[in-house]
Chain A
Amino acid sequence: MSDPLKVILKIAASGLEAQSARMRVVSENLANAQSTGKTPGADPYTRKVVSFETEVDEATNANLVKVENVDLHRSPYRIEHDPSNPAADANGYVKLPNVNMLVEMADMREANRSYEANLQVMKQAREMITMTIDLMRSS
């Protein structure tokens, strides 16, 4: 029988990992918000999205979370008329990434919030472990 307190630490750690992976993808999207293609008419950077799924840990029967996949977002690219741009096609149109700053910021906030919640759970579990150990201390 595995100790639930240890399981909590494992679950919270999986949550932290998933949320930090999400944060990483958000930062990639933000950093590449202006990255055009290399050759004329080429596709620019495509926005990435993470999807989570529940994974049952066989040893402890706990519902962990993991990043299922990092997919490319399928919304259309922004198109601007800028004939002098190296990535402009024959008609002078440049394809810009389909990254929306506002959406990325909202996603970042949500990831941050979930990360904090997982951290809080971990803290509480650690306090409970300390309380249990303190039972052995002679006061």
Chain B
Amino acid sequence: MGPIHLFDVASRVNHWLTVRQSTIAQNVANANTPGFKSQDVKPFASTLEAMSLAMSSSRPEHMTHTPAADARTELNADESGEMLHSGNTVNLEMEMSKAGEVNRAYALNTSTLKAFHRMLMTSSKV
């Protein structure tokens, strides 16, 4: 049986979700800014693949956690919204529903993490 990267993956998902939520916050804050284009992050699956490729290194000291880790969640111009006369593409309703979705996913993830943590603690208790 291979090692379980459960906590690693969970923390990465959580980080991805927070980056997505901050992108949504940017969109909402700029909902009335002329010329602002709505943005979104890449899906988690593709960032996870890119991450595991980037993590290959020959020496342990090569694995440094740089601020560039933020760059793995690239912002894509979101094409789904239609453009207003001012050149703004933010759709407030859609952003709110996305924010709710991210919040629910975060809740699910933290609860799962908590459950696994409880299991570990139970097995380590006398």
> What is the interface of chain A, defined by CB distance below 8 A to chain B?
1, 3-5, 7-8, 11-12, 14-15, 18-19, 22, 51-54, 61-65, 110, 113-114, 117-118, 120-121, 124-125, 127-128, 131-132, 134-135, 139
Complex partner residue of B92 from A65, A114, A139, CB under 8 angstroms: A114
B33 & A5 in contact (Cβ 8 Å cutoff): no
- A12 to B96 alpha-carbon distance, docked (Å): 13
B33 & A8 in contact (Cβ 8 Å cutoff): no
B34 & A127 in contact (Cβ 8 Å cutoff): no
What 15 new A-B contacts, CB under 8 Å, besides A8-B18, A15-B31, A121-B21?
A1-B69, A4-B19, A4-B21, A8-B22, A11-B25, A11-B26, A12-B25, A12-B28, A18-B29, A53-B33, A114-B32, A118-B28, A118-B29, A131-B107, A135-B114
B14 & A132 in contact (Cβ 8 Å cutoff): yes
A54 & B36 in contact (Cβ 8 Å cutoff): yes
A5 & B29 in contact (Cβ 8 Å cutoff): no
A38 to chain B, nearest CB (A): 35
Task: Determine the residue in chain A with the shortest Cβ distance to B17.
Answer: A128
A117 & B18 in contact (Cβ 8 Å cutoff): no
A-chain residues with CB within 8 Å of residue B47 when the two chains form the complex: none
A131 & B110 in contact (Cβ 8 Å cutoff): yes
- A12 to B28 alpha-carbon distance, docked (Å): 8
A-chain residues with CB within 8 Å of residue B25 when the two chains form the complex: 7-8, 11-12, 15, 118, 121, 125
A-chain residues with CB within 8 Å of residue B113 when the two chains form the complex: 135
A24 to chain B, nearest CB (A): 15
Tally of A-B Cβ pairs under 8 angstroms: 106
Known A-B contacts A12-B29, A65-B30; A121 and B110 likewise in contact (beta carbons under 8 Å): no
Max chain A C-beta neighbours (<10 A), residue from B25, B67, B95, B106: B25
B-chain residues with CB within 8 Å of residue A4 when the two chains form the complex: 15, 18-19, 21-22
Task: Determine the residue in chain B with the shortest Cβ distance to A50.
Answer: B32
Q: Does B13 sit within 8 A of A, measured CB to CB?
A: no
Max chain B C-beta neighbours (<10 A), residue from A8, A64, A120, A134: A8
B-chain residues with CB within 8 Å of residue A117 when the two chains form the complex: 28, 31, 92, 95-96
A124 & B34 in contact (Cβ 8 Å cutoff): no
A15 & B106 in contact (Cβ 8 Å cutoff): no
B-chain residues with CB within 8 Å of residue A125 when the two chains form the complex: 21, 25
